[in-house]
Structure formats: C-alpha cells, structure tokens
Amino acid sequence: MQSASLRLLCLLLPTMLLTACATLSGGVTSAPWGSMPDGREVRLFTLRNAKGMEARITEYGGILVSLTAPDREGKMADVVLGFDRLEDYQTRNPFFGAITGRYANRIRGARFTLDGQSHELEANSGKNQIHGGRQGFDKQLWSGRPIASSRGPAVAMDHVSPAGAGGFPGALRVTVTYTLTDSGALEIDYQASTDAPTHVNLTNHTYFNLAGSGSVLDQELMVNADAILETDDQLIPIGSIRPIAGTPMDFRSSHALGSRIDQADPALRQGKGYDHCYVLPGVGLREVAQLYDPASGRLMTVRTTEPGVQVYTANNLKSMTGKGGQSYGPRSAVCLETQHYPDSPNQPSFPSTVLRPGDRYQSTTVFAFSTR
C-alpha cells in the first residue's frame, strides 16, 4: 500500500520533483552542495545500499567524499579521508577521493610523442606532470545522474575534456560510474572515447583508513605482485621492473604497513615510505589486494582490470583538519590507486595507454568490504 501511494505521489508531483522521487526509490538522493567560483551549482549524491552502507559522491572532481562500512560488531564508520565542506576540496585537497586524469600519476618531462607528433603538457610537479596538470579531472565540475542498476544504487559522472586540456590532444568524453552494491562493494567503472589519438589513464585517489581514524600503520596489506617498477628520485619509472622477494616492498603475504616502512631500502627512501607501482599479474577483473584492520575486523578486497596499483602511504600528507575535526597527517591513510603504469607514454615496453577514435577506454575497480 505504501509503495502504491509513493507511485501515485510521484505521478502527481511537478516535473521538477520527479527525479528526486525516482532517486529516493532507487537508494540515491542528491542535494545542492555549494558552487563553483563561476556560480555553477555543485551537487552531492548519497548512495545507500541494503546493508546500510553509504557512499557520498560530489560532482566536483567526482570525489568520493565518504564511505561507511561496518566493523565486526556491525558498527559503521567512515573509512575514507576527506572534508566536510566543498570549499576545502576546492582550496586544499591533496586529491582526497578524486577521479584523477587525464593521466593518473607521473609523466616525465611533461611531454610525449604520439604518432610522430610531440605534445607539451602542463608541468605541475617540477618539470613533470602528475594527475593531469593543475586543472586535472579532480578540479572539474562533473555532471552527475542516478542510473538504474540491479546490483545496488548507482550514480554516473560525466565530463567532456576539451582538446588541449593539460596539453593532451583530442576531446575526451568520460563517464565514471559508482555503484554501491547490496553485497557491500563500491564498484567504479570508467569509460572514455576520443576524437583524436591521445593517452588516457584514470584512477580514483581515495585515502583509506579502515579504522576510521588514527594511523594506518597497524593495518595489514596484501598485494598479489612480485615486482614493482623501478623509479628515480622523482618517483618516475626508469623502464625496468624490480623483483621484490625478500625486500620490505614484498606484500605477497599480509603484514602491517608499518612493520617494514622505515627499513633501509632504496625504494622506501625515494618515496619516504610506500609510493610505488606494483606490477600485477593476470588480465581481466581479478583480486589484486587486501587491506585489513585487526582492531575493527574490517577487510577490504580490491579487484581490478588494471595492470598496476600504486600503493601510497600518505607520506607527504600535510597535517590538517578533516571531517568531523579529525587530524590528518603523514601515514594516516593508504591509497590503492589501480591504474596503468606511470610514464607509459614515454615507455614503449609498458602496456599501452593510447586511445584512438572509434576505440573505447574501459576499466573497472571494485572495493569489496567484509569483516573477520
């Protein structure tokens, strides 16, 4: 009876309210959440699944603002770092929760040659480019829309990046879909197309802390990889792959992030901790990592179609105040950025990141939550 009444109410409401009715019935709601400097409205979408988990995503940067997950006693906690206000994301965000692109991670010298043509990119990390430049995808206003999904509430974020943005050729049409499945997973699906040959490498830059606060060093990580990309002192790959068996970089068996992070190792010294791309075996959507918090019992399993994952223990995160007045600082979270390899446009031996007209960029990463 209640469901029938809701349907009747939706039919009678003005057209401007129909979308709100439909999203409420699908586990998705949206509300205004501030504005861009030019006055364009920014909305915040809330996804709530059958388990009572919530994910909030804003159109600014396609940012995952919050994600709640239950502990072994069923108590919910927000397991991602972020801010309470849009203004903080606009003025001081170290990529918390953002879609990063057009090219996630670093490109040496902020340049590449494609089909014999040289392209100069916007340098924003010394002489290099990182995460698409100063006005990358993390700073763009995306267009959000709830979509139907049999797996749980979902919202799609759309953006058109014009030719020349950040120095990249081709106009790029991108859709990133977040689905909070009723089984307890956050699925992120990426699709893109271009009108001219270009390079594309997308990821999500969420900072995870499964305890909900404090240091992340007692949390245990497993990464199904036996090698990392060797890098120089700017953390840019030099083209070779380093086996990690018997080194502090080896996470094939689960152990605490802090148990080896300060050991003497060239890679750890370069990154001031973990900040390296792990070379993932296999193809297709497969399990590549697990993060576990012994105190709460929360377990996050990562599956991806990507060939690499950048493990970053927030070594350079400046001390700041985040959501709910929490104090954030170095090593208060870990990022598991599934992606193609850094600097692939300049490394012919790496998996290609070239996207051509008529082809479609497609990538999926799943963060599945459970307890033990």
β-bridge partners, 290: 222, 301
Secondary structure letter of residue 321 according to DSSP: E
Cα gap 319→145, rounded to integer Å: 35
Which residues are within 8 A (CB) of 161 and not within 5 positions of it... i.e. 6 or more apart? 101, 102, 137, 140, 168, 171, 172, 173, 174
Sequence-separated (6 or more) residues with CB below 8 Å from residue 44:
30, 31, 32, 33, 56, 57, 58, 59, 65
Catalytic residue positions, numbered: 205, 337
What is the C-alpha separation between 26 and 274, in angstroms, rounded? 39
Contact 213, 326 (CB under 8 A): yes
Bridge partners of 77, per DSSP, are 69
Q: Two tokens at 190? A: 């990426």
Cis (ω within 30 of 0) for the bond into 43? no
**Secondary structure class of 19 (helix, strand, coil):** helix
